[in-house]
Structure formats: C-alpha cells, structure tokens
Amino acid sequence: MYRTHTCGELNINNVNKSVTLCGWIQRIRDKGGMIWIDLRDRYGITQLMFEEGSSSDTLIKQVRELGREFVIQVRGFVIEREAKNSNILTGDIEIRVDTITILNRSETPPFTIEENTDGGDELRMRYRYLDLRREIVRTNLELRHRMAAKTRIFLDSEGFIETETPCLIKSTPEGARDFVVPSRMHTGEFYALPQSPQTFKQLLMVGGFDKYYQIVRCFRDEDLRADRQPEFTQIDCEMSFVEQDDVLNTFEELAKHLFIEILDIDIKNDFPRIAWSEAMEYYGTDKPDIRFEMKITNLTSLVKGKGFKVFDNAEYIGGICASGCAGYSRKQIDNLTAFVQKPQIGAKGLIYIKFFKTDQKTEDNRDYKSSIDKFFPDNELEMITSAAGAEPGDLVLILAGEKKQTLYALSELRLEMGTILGLRDNNKFAPLWVTDFPLLEWDEETKRYYAMHHPFTSPKAEDTDKLETAPGEVRANAYDLVINGVEIGGGSIRIYDNQLQKTMFKCLGFSEEEAQSQFGFLMDAFKYGAPPHGGIAFGFDRWCALFGGSESIRDFIAFPKNNAGRDTMIDSPSPISGEQLKELNLKIEKKK
Amino acid sequence: MYRTHTCGELNINNVNKSVTLCGWIQRIRDKGGMIWIDLRDRYGITQLMFEEGSSSDTLIKQVRELGREFVIQVRGFVIEREAKNSNILTGDIEIRVDTITILNRSETPPFTIEENTDGGDELRMRYRYLDLRREIVRTNLELRHRMAAKTRIFLDSEGFIETETPCLIKSTPEGARDFVVPSRMHTGEFYALPQSPQTFKQLLMVGGFDKYYQIVRCFRDEDLRADRQPEFTQIDCEMSFVEQDDVLNTFEELAKHLFIEILDIDIKNDFPRIAWSEAMEYYGTDKPDIRFEMKITNLTSLVKGKGFKVFDNAEYIGGICASGCAGYSRKQIDNLTAFVQKPQIGAKGLIYIKFFKTDQKTEDNRDYKSSIDKFFPDNELEMITSAAGAEPGDLVLILAGEKKQTLYALSELRLEMGTILGLRDNNKFAPLWVTDFPLLEWDEETKRYYAMHHPFTSPKAEDTDKLETAPGEVRANAYDLVINGVEIGGGSIRIYDNQLQKTMFKCLGFSEEEAQSQFGFLMDAFKYGAPPHGGIAFGFDRWCALFGGSESIRDFIAFPKNNAGRDTMIDSPSPISGEQLKELNLKIEKKK
C-alpha cells in the first residue's frame, strides 16, 4: 500500500503520528522560509509543511521542483497547526514532511482544478478525467452512487428481484429511433439497443417473477437537446397482480425513502394526485411545478363576445394571477410580453390587468389599469380579476389563442413568473402524481394515432368500449411522477389480454402482420397465462440532477456525450477499418 | 391489490382467516367428490380445495373448466389439512375456496412447468417466459440477484464508488472483435460497444476516484461456444495507490464475503497464491482445479535416453499419479487412452505404470505392470513411480510430446481422473490466486506479440529492462482468481507512465500513429498526474454459475442467446427497414 492514511482523515488525535500520504498537489505557497502544499485526494485535502533550515536542503530543493497536479507520496509527522482552518476536516493539523516521492509528473492542466474553474464546457468535456478531479463533479457522481445504492436497498427490502435484461435486442419502428448493431454472423441482420426493457419486463411478469427492477442503460437515437443523452439510465420496475394505486403507493414510498436518505427531507403527507385533464386545465402542462399555486383560470366564456377581436377570435382565453405585482413597470410588462412572444413559446401578445390597492389607484382614481380597458369597463375588469382570484395589489396576465398552444404559453409564463417571484426554490421539493393520461394522441402529419405512453398501456376499463369508436377520448391507466415541474418517472398498468393488445395495435394502424412480426412474441406470451401487471420507469440521470440541484443531467454522468452525440475525449464515434466493414458485409453510402 | 397473501406464506397460524390468493394452476387433482388445485406463484405453492356438495355446483363446474397455467384469483378460508405435506412451507394448510375469478386463460404450454421438464433446450429458449416459471430457473436468477446485492454491499462498505461508464464508445482493433453501432448523425462513423470498461476505469483513477466498481454489461463479437454469450456481465473494479497484494487482499475478502453470505461457507485460510509458471508446471494449466492434488511430475530428464523412442523424441514427458488405481482393467486404460487421443486433447498415446501392492503382484511376481516394461526394467519403473509420488496400489499415467501440448493434455487427463475418482465435488470449493503471468504471448501466425492480459498491464519492475531485449520473458503484475478450475476473475497493476505505455504499444507492434489514434486519450491522460493503480474484473455470469453448481452461464441469464448469438424468442437479430438503412447511410453487401 502506498499510503497509511487518506488526505481526508487525519485530525488533532493523530498528532505526532508518523504517516504516509498520497495525492495530487492542489496548491503550493512558497513564503521563502516556509513552504506549504495542499495535498488532495478523493477524501479531502491535507496541508504539508516544509521549513527552510529545519527541512533538509535536498527536500526543499525537491519541493521547489514540484508543480500543480503532480502525484506525490510523502512521509512525515502529524503536527498541530498554528493557524487552524475550520473549513476542512483536517484543518487542525498539518504534516511536517521528511521525504517526498514523485509518483507522476503533470503538465500544466488546460484548466484549473477548482470549484470555479476557468475551463469552458468543451475543454472540460475533452479532458473529462481532469474535470472529474473537481470536487463539484465528484460530489455529483457520489450522489448518483448513493441514489442507486439507496434505491436498491429499498426495492430489495420490498421483495423486488433485480434482473438483467438483454442489450442486444430487436429493432421496432414504434417509438423513438433505435440504435442498431449489425450482426456479423447473420448477414443483413441487426440487433437493436433497447430504448427501455419494456417488453422484457412484461415477459418477466408472464414468467412469474412478480416484482422486478433494474437500474439499466437505455438508448435513443434522437436529435439531442441539452438535457438528452443518446444513452441514459432508468430505474425500471414492474409488478404483478397490482392495480394503479398499488404501483403509486409502492413507488411513492421509494421516493419518500430517497428524499429522507439522500436529502434528509421527511415528507409525511401523501403526494397529491391529479388527473391529466386537470393538470392541463390548471397548469397548462402535464408536469406542473406545484411549489407555487398561481393556477391558470379559464376566462373564455367570461370575456368572449365583448367586441374585443383578439378574444372574440380566440378558441381559448386564460389568465394567471401574479400576486403583489400590480406595481409592475411598463418595462417589466414589456419583458414579459417579449418572453411570451419568443418563437419557442409563440404567443401573439400579452394582456394585463393591474388591480390596485386603495392607496395606489390610477391617476383618474380607478382600481384597474389594463391593456384592454378600452374594451372592458372597470366592472368587467373586476369580474375578470375576481375570476382569476386576484386581490388588490395583484397583476392578472392573460393570453388568448388556439387552446393547446395558449395553455402551453400560459404554463411557461406561469413558470417564468414563479422564477421572478422566487417561488421556485431548488431546496424545496413538491412531488405529485399526474394520472389518467389519454391513451392515444392524434398526429396530424401522419394522420394516425400514436400511443401517448407506449402500445402496451391499458385503457381504463370504463373507456374500453370507446377504443374503436372514439379512440381520442379513451383514458389510460397511466401515471407520471412529477417533482418541481420535472417528469421523474412514468408508468402504466399494462394490457395483459391478447385480444385487447391486438385491438390496440389496430388502433395504432398496425396491420396484423406488422403487429405479429414486431410484437408477436409478446402476444404469444399472453396466450399462456399472463397475470395482470403494471410498472414504472424513472429517469435516473434526471432524478440525480434534480436532487443535486442542477438542471443538466450531463453533470451527473461520468462520461457524457456532447450535443452532437460525440465523446470528444475518446473521439467517438469514429470511422472503423475496411476489414471490419467487410466482415459485417456493410458499405457506407456517400451522403448526397 | 389483487391478493391478500402470496402462495408461499400461509401456515397453521392463519387457519380460519379469509384470504385472497392469485397465481398459476400448477396441477389439478379431480377425485370426483373432491378436487384439489396446486396454486403457484414466485413464493410457493398453496393447495386449494373444493368439495362436491359443500362447494356450490357453479363453483365446481367452474373448477372443471380450468386448465394448467391458467391465472386465477381465489377467495376462501384457510383450513388445516388432513394430510399434511412437510415438503412445502404451506403444507399444513389448504384453502377452502368460495369464489374463483379467471384472470387469464392459458393454452397448453409447449412443455411442462416442472423441475424435470419435457422441453428441450431449443423449445425452452423460444418460450423463455414459460421456462422462467420453473423453480430451478427462477432460483438461479434469485441467486444472481443476491450475488449482485451482496457484492454491492461489500464494495460500498469498502468505500468503492459505483460509477457508470458509457456503452457507446470507440472501436479498437486490439483484443476481441467489437460490436459496432453506426452513427446516424455522423455518416460513416461508428460507436463500439465496450468489451470492458478498461480504459474508462483507468481514466476514473486519473480523475482521482480512488476506488471504483461497476456491475456492468460487456460485449464481444466472438464465435460462440457453449459457455460464451455475446453480452455478459462483469464485476469491474479499480483502485489507486495500490500494489498487487492490496488488490488481492481486498478481493479475496470480497470472495470470502460471497462464500459466507451466499453459500454459508466460512473460508478462514488465505487463498493459496501460486505463480503462473508453477501452475503450468504442476497442473498444466493457468486455472488449476485444486480441489484435489494429483500434481504433474516432470519426468523428462528421468526417462529420456533409455532407448524408448517415444520418450527420446519428446520435448517433454510428464506424468500424474492416480491414487488407488493400480487395479484398472484393460478397458479402463483403453478408455483413458481414447480420452487423451480425442482431437481436442490430441495426445498420441497413453503410457501407464501400475504399481501393485504386495498382495496384488503380477503373475510373474513383479511389483509393476506397464505399457513400457519392455524398455524400462522394474528398478527404473520404481524410480519413475517414486518420482511421481506413487505408493503401492497407485497408477501412474504418462504422456510425452511437445511440451505445451503435452502439459495441456496432462491437465485434461488430470481433470478426467479427478472426475472419475469423485474428487471434484460441486459442493466443495477451492479458490486460489495465480500470479506472475507472462506479459506477452508470441503469435506464430501474425508473427507478433500480443498482450496476454491487455496492453495496459504493467511489467514487473525487475523485468522491465527485458521489454525491448527479451519481451517473451517479461512477467506481468497480473493475476487471476481461480475457483475449482474456473477462472472467475483477472486483473493487473496497470501502467501509469506515459513512456512505459508507449514502449508497451511498440512491443505490440503499434506504430506511434496507431497508438495515438486509438489510445491517445489514455496516454494524454497519463501526462496530467496519473496515480499508480490496478484492478480486477470478475465474470459475474460465471461466478453465479459456479456458486449455483452449474457449468453453463446460460442458466443464470434471464434471456440468453443461443450458440448462434440469436434470441429465438424475439427473433433477433433481424432485418431492419430500408428507411433505417438509408438514415444510417449503409448498404448491405451480398455475401459471396
């Protein structure tokens, strides 16, 4: 062993002890007569001390040849520090060093190994092994490790069996795009990497495994966004002989377990459960951030037909009430207008009503000031603000247009106002279940229904007869866990009846042959006694990021890929040899 | 919830309780007046009881329409059994059923769901979800789950951080063949699936992670054998600031932890550690089964030059002593001869010396009978048997030929004799470390050296100067854990010096450009303060199989592939659509 102790464990009780430490040089302070080195490893920082006269000349000479990030081994004695540092665990002591061995030299790193590094994203990705030395990055990955460990402990204690499912599976065009793996032994054939172990976990239920989980790598060949990675990790779970409430209760316990174990937050109350339709109506989104109220009010019937064209021509008019914001300046309102007019939000304009307190009134002594006061007299503005739940001093913000789009814009405006008002504290957590999702989504482009969740999600029993007559109205036994406006996980009670699964594929526009060739194995399995079952999958990277107080999952992945799906450190993807291509019987076609 | 209890938990204390159970119908016994059903789930079997007269006619009628593997839900009362069954946990009770709900029907399964099923390998692979219902298969996968859980508990407690490394990495021609994944976004470029996370775990050490592990999927596109799978699982570990003994001690503790936790076997002694050269000399293999002694004796100098051509022309002559086998019949000797002459073993013939006890002597009153007694008088046979450690009553078996090949054949003969003599008890475990492997292996075909372990393994310090002069003689800081003749894991202390790594690539015939283009990121990383480090990887599937008493890893994988790398259940690999190929800019070339 190269060391007797780590750089994080020595304290006042170890004074006079002879020790050997190893680590990286974080910092050298040469004050002439005295030299101090901060020696760093995963466990902490220990101060090394050298004194001219007292330390040998050879040693002092050696020290002056060291540089940042050199890896050294030192032998010496623990002594009490004169100037103690209560910020670090080893702050009461330092090491009076007798000998130094340089284990490895270091060139000057391309960026500083500090919390606030001078390295940009790209540079840090390229030298990720150096970025990993930064405490903040290491702490994120330690959090991830603890999350996984605590998840396993909980699920193990609940009788779940962790079962590995294959990575080399079969491509199915439903859902996102698959990564494929050419088979050398079977010319012209391909494996696919799993987007999730969905069908396999269902087969495990058919196989009687009763309770399954896996923390598992999944793959999606999507055009990437900031918070997407081509490979990501799920906590994937499935249970037999359960109904929706059983699944929700079980995994609400898992979430509470992680809240207490990881964040020391004890959530005693049940998580709220709201139907998808309600979430859409009151928050404009299926993943509401309920750390703050500010619900959307549907004003359509109240304001339509009053001669204001913008409203009269709109399918939907809705508003939110920003508490205490009646005093907003023109500039503040303009900023909000610019926000909702951003192309990715797409509202045409923003209407406001300021509802003043008695001592604030307008110059002409009115209670209201609004961008629509030409069309709406005060008594009507009063009705609107009252509907929106506004009190004197509040600001009501109104958007109008096509319903779906306007609700989306309102939801974004709501989040923006929440942020502005400081209602979205990263240390506060508000989980909820969204349930009763629609089973199917109509796609205008391809003129067909798609499964909102996936094709194995069961319709609600009371809606099943609408499957062939009004598929768009059928609700699913599907649910999402949302925390702080982030979808952390989702699942459903599955179809386990062969005939119903066939009907479902028919609704999705599969011919019988297509359904059989892609999912025949699952429908076959359902012929041999499939139990009722359901489950859930959590986005593990995202959950870690949420608990770590970050928006980017990339900070919680040891070796992430960039937005072009590239690992710039190892330079992948990259060309392969002609010989490899030949063995695979593949030829690359030039892109036109 | 569909049930109040599982089929494995009710006992005499629950008598008179009203319960609801769910499960599969294992067996129906209809004795006219009485009908019994064995209801099965993952947790056990509970007997259901129906009585004509007492149960309603409708219920009896319903029961008579049930079949094997139907999934049912029953409500009823727990009653004490008249004929108790002490073989099962629920054997003291049965359920007097009031109502049955059929949750799902089943067609007649293609094979019986019993320990000794009538289904062949192929059929069971195709219907793996039914095979998984068999207790033996489920038990294997439960063992696997426990092995993983206990491994994590141990490594977590030792301060290892489980860190996920990427699956989409970069192809390197060194080692086995990679599976590759075409990139859609980067035409003509490919990711590769990892054969192991080797370089990433080394980068984690450069990143200061100090102690890393991962239970991780790995991929090798090899021509498959019975105990190989294209995807398999490793327990992958790495540590910084360690020497070989530190790694061996740490993971010997892991092994002991699993022995006690999984098999309840408390191994108090240190595992034996023997050098590779010794293992080859005494066992003819680098993975000796030391459940039994029967070491190989090198007889070359003793028996050469006595005028027996077979010996005189041989590079090497070696023998083993089969204790108590002097009485072997001609047929038994013939069988052993046939065994060593099998093409995969390849010996030309087998020479034996029977060393009789005093009361057994030959017809002409000699102590020895041998296939070579024409060439070797009794006093010489005595010298040979004495060298081989034989006592009266023993049989010495001798092979001669080219050294490497003969040692291999002797090792196989030794195992065969061990099996015949019942010395290879599957409930007995004999672990050992094999150390000091050669660093390089010469390949006659390509006329170059290959890394025996991998190109990152460090040479022994005292052998480093032979790297450029006599590469074949250089020993490595490499080690394997072997249990019962099965290689369970292997690892090494790594190179962490940029220059030494370059020299190593040179020895392996890499040009500087090749080394840089394939492993440049690692050699670059070594420039910024790489710590001394080393690690190990265990074949998790194989370890599970060994502890489960099986030779086949396939029995311990939920969804294995067959010998052609095919998943016959989901029918994969399979063709993908023309559109997918087009998006990937790939064309399939017809095989000539």
- Examine the domain organization and report whether B264 and B179 are in the same domain: yes
Q: Per residue in A25-80, pLDDT tens? A: 999 999 989 999 999 999 999 999 999 998 899 999 999 999 999 999 999 999 99
Average pLDDT estimate for A539-550: 96
| Pair A484, A429: CB distance under 8 Å | yes
Tell the burial category of A174 from Cβ atoms under 10 Å away from its Cβ (0-12, 13-18, 19+).
middle
How close, in Å, is residue B417 to chain A by CA atoms?
38
- How many contacts does A have with B, using Cβ atoms within 8 A? 361
- Counted domains in chain A: 4
User: What does the pLDDT average to over A426-446?
Assistant: 94
Percentage of chain B beyond pLDDT 90 is 85
Inter-chain residue contact B570 with A521, CB threshold 8 Å: yes
B381-400 pLDDT per residue, tens: 999 999 999 999 999 999 99
Whether A390 shows a pLDDT value over 70: the answer reads: yes
| Judgement on whether residues B401 and B332 belong to the same structural domain of the protein | yes
pLDDT at position B592 over 60: no
Chain B residue nearest residue A22, CA to CA? B241
pTM of the full structure: 0.95
The distance of B510 to chain A (nearest Cα, Å) reads 15
The CA angle B481-B487-B488, to the nearest 5 degrees, is: 65
**pLDDT higher than 60, residue B454:** yes
Do A255 and A161 have their domain in common? yes
The Cα A570–Cα A559 span in angstroms is 10
Contact A574 B170 (CB under 8 A): yes
Query: pLDDT higher for B506 or A213?
Result: A213
Most distant CA pair in chain B: distance in Å? 94
CB contact under 8 A, B162 and A168: no
**Mean pLDDT, residues B248-253 taken together:** 98
Q: Do B572 and A168 touch (CB under 8 A)?
A: yes
pLDDT of residue B591: 64
In the prediction, which pLDDT does A362 show? 80
Q: Which DSSP category does A305 fall into?
A: T
Residue B105 and residue B107: Cα distance in Å, rounded? Answer: 7
Interface test with B, best of A139, A574, A589 (most B CBs within 10 A): A574
Per-residue pLDDT tens over the stretch B189-230: 999 999 999 999 999 999 999 999 999 999 999 887 667 899
What confidence tier does B468 reach under pLDDT thresholds 50, 70, 90? confident
Could you tell me how many residues make up chain B?
592
Same-domain check for residues B215 and B319: no
Report the gap between the CA of A405 and the closest CA in chain B (Å). Answer: 31
Residues of A in contact with B185 (CB under 8 A): 223, 564-565
The nearest CA of chain A is from the CA of B474 a distance in Å of 23
Using CB atoms within 10 A of its CB, is residue B465 exposed (0-12), middle (13-18) or buried (19+)? exposed
Dihedrals phi, psi of B64, to nearest 5 degrees: -70, -10
Contact A426, A414 (CB under 8 A): no
Residue with tokens 């990427």: B166
pLDDT at position A146, please? 98
Would you state the structure tokens that stand for residue A99, as one six-digit string?
């000998």
Name the domain boundary from B396, B420, B444. B420
Distance from CA of A299 to the nearest CA of B (A): 41
Chosen for mutation from B5, B125, B131, B190 (greatest number of chain A CBs closer than 10 Å) is B190
Tell me what the mean pLDDT of segment B477-489 comes to. Answer: 97
* Mean pLDDT value across residues A14-21: 98
CATH number where A79 lies: 2.40.50.140
Average pLDDT for B15-44: 96
B170/A200 CB distance under 8 A = no
Residues B162 and B207 in one domain: yes
Chain-chain contact of A208 with B526 (C-beta, under 8 angstroms): no
**CATH for A545:** 3.30.930.10
pLDDT for res A226: 66
Residue B564 forms part of a structural domain: no
Beta-carbon separation of A575 and B190 below 8 A: yes
Q: Are A154 and A97 part of one and the same domain?
A: no
pLDDT of residue A227: 73
Residues in chain A with CB shorter than 8 Å from the CB of B192 are 572, 576
Q: B338: closest CA among B423, B424, B409?
A: B409
Can you give the pLDDT at residue B400?
Answer: 97
**CB B207 to CB A132 under 8 A?**
yes
Question: When comparing pLDDT for B366 and B535, which is higher?
Answer: B535
In percent, the amount of chain B with pLDDT more than 70 equals 99
Which residues in B lie closer than 8 A to residue A142 (C-beta atoms)? Answer: 161
Mutant choice from B150, B528, B557, B590 vs A, greatest count of A C-beta within 10 A: B528
Among A388, A420, A452, residue at a domain's last position:
A420
Question: pLDDT value at position A592?
Answer: 56
- C-beta atoms surrounding B120 within 10 Å: 9
What whole-number distance in Å separates Cα of residue A541 and Cα of residue A555?
9
pLDDT for A413: 98
β-partners of residue B431 are B483
Position A302 in a domain: yes
Q: Which residues contact B585 (CB under 8 A, 6 or more apart)?
A: A588, A589, A590, A591, B182, B187, B188
Nearest to B78 by CA among B25, B125, B15: B15
Contacts of B362 (CB under 8 A, 6+ apart): B356, B368, B369
Distance CA B110, CA B104 (A): 17
The Cβ of residue A472 has, within 10 Å, a number of other Cβ atoms equal to 11
The pLDDT confidence band at residue B1, using thresholds 50, 70 and 90, is confident
Residues B93 and B58 in one domain: yes
Residue A277 lies in a domain: no
The vertex-A589 CA angle with B576 and A582, nearest 5°, equals 75
pLDDT in tens, A114-137: 988 998 999 999 999 999 999 999
CB-CB neighbors (< 8 A) of B187 in chain A: 588, 590-591
Tens digit of pLDDT for each residue in A205-257?
Answer: 999 999 999 999 999 998 876 678 999 999 999 999 999 999 999 999 999 99
Token duo for residue B362: 């030959």
Task: Kindly determine whether residue B106 and residue A528, on different chains, have CB atoms separated by under 8 Å.
Answer: yes
Q: What are phi and psi of A205, to 5 degrees?
A: -70, -45
Of B22, B200, B241, the CB nearest to A241: B22
Q: Which residues of B touch A566 (CB under 8 A)?
A: 186
Q: What is d(CA B168, CA A225) in angstroms, rounded to the nearest whole number?
A: 18
Q: Residue B328 belongs to what domain range?
A: 292-420
Domain end: B391, B420, B449, which one? B420
* Dihedral angle sign, alpha carbons of residues A228, A233, A235, A238: positive
Contact B567 A169 (CB under 8 A): yes
Residue A408 — very low, low, confident or very high, per pLDDT cuts 50/70/90? very high
- CA dist B298 and B287 (Å) reads 19
Q: CATH number of the domain that A322 lies in?
A: 3.30.1360.30
Selecting from A189, A208, A590 the residue whose C-beta is nearest the C-beta of B133 gives A208
Residues from chain A that touch B173, judged by Cβ atoms under 8 A, are 577, 580
What's the whole-number average pLDDT of chain A?
A: 95
Q: How far apart are CA B384 and CA B397, in angstroms?
A: 11
Residue B415 contacts by C-beta under 8 Å, 6 or more apart in sequence? B289, B424, B485
Taking residues A140-162, report their average pLDDT: 98
> Nearest Cβ partner of A589 from B165, B171, B586?
B586
Measured distance CA(A114)–CA(B100) in Å, rounded: 67
Domain-located, residue B119: no
Contacts of A145 in chain B (CB under 8 A): 161-163
Calculate what percentage of chain A has a pLDDT beyond 70.
99
CA distance B415 to B290: 10
Chain B residues in contact with A179 by the CB 8 A cut-off are 168, 181, 191
Task: Give the tokens for residue A298.
Answer: 């549907």
- B528:A107 CB<8 A: yes
Same domain, B161 and B192: yes
Instruction: Using CA atoms of A404, A410, A414, A420 in order, give the dihedral in degrees to the nearest 10.
Output: 140
Local structure of B110: helix, strand or coil = coil
Distance from CA of A89 to the nearest CA of B (A): 18
Tokens of A569: 């450190």
SS3 state at B179: coil
> Which of B165, B185, B203 has its CB closest to that of A129?
B203
Report H helices in A370-420: 378-387, 403-420
Question: Is residue A384 in a domain?
Answer: yes
Indicate yes or no: CB of B573 within 8 angstroms of CB of A189. yes
For residue B205, give how far its alpha carbon lies from the nearest alpha carbon of chain A (Å).
8
Closest residue of chain B to A223, computed from CA coordinates: B185
Bond prior to B575 in cis (omega within 30° of 0): no
Q: Does residue B177 form part of some domain?
A: yes
Asked, for residue A234, whether it belongs to a domain, the answer is: yes
Give how far A69 is from chain B: nearest CA, Å.
6
Question: With 80 as the cut, is the pLDDT of residue B412 above it?
Answer: yes
The end-to-end CA distance of chain A, in Å, is: 59
Neighbours of B344 (CB within 10 A): 7
* For B532, nearest residue in chain A (alpha carbons): A103
Q: What is the average pLDDT value for chain B, to the nearest integer?
A: 95
Residues of B in contact with A241 (CB under 8 A): 1-3, 22, 73
CB contact under 8 A, A573 and B191: yes
- Using 50, 70 and 90 to split pLDDT, how confident is the model at B175? confident
Let me know if residue B326 belongs to a domain: yes
Give pLDDT, residue B226: 66
- Considering only CB atoms, B189 lies closest to which of A2, A185, A573, namely A573
pLDDT tens digits, A468-521: 889 999 999 999 999 999 999 999 999 999 999 999 998 888 899 988 888 899
* Closest listed residue to residue A180, CA positions, set B588, B63, B142, B237: B588
Give chain A's length.
Answer: 592
A348: tokens are 């045409």
Same domain, A549 and A512: no
A449/A545 same-domain check: no
Q: Are residues A547 and A495 in the same domain?
A: no
Looking at residue A541, its pLDDT comes to 97
Report the alpha-carbon distance of residue A532 to residue A399 in Å, rounded: 44
Q: Quickly tell me which residue has 């087998």 as its tokens.
A: B350
In a shared domain, residues B254 and B307: no
Angle at A218 between CA A215 and CA A221, to 5 degrees: 165
Contact at CB, A207 and B109, closer than 8 angstroms: no
Cα–Cα distance for residue pair B417/B409, rounded to 1 Å: 12
B314-358 residue pLDDT tens? 999 999 999 999 999 999 999 999 999 999 999 999 999 999 998
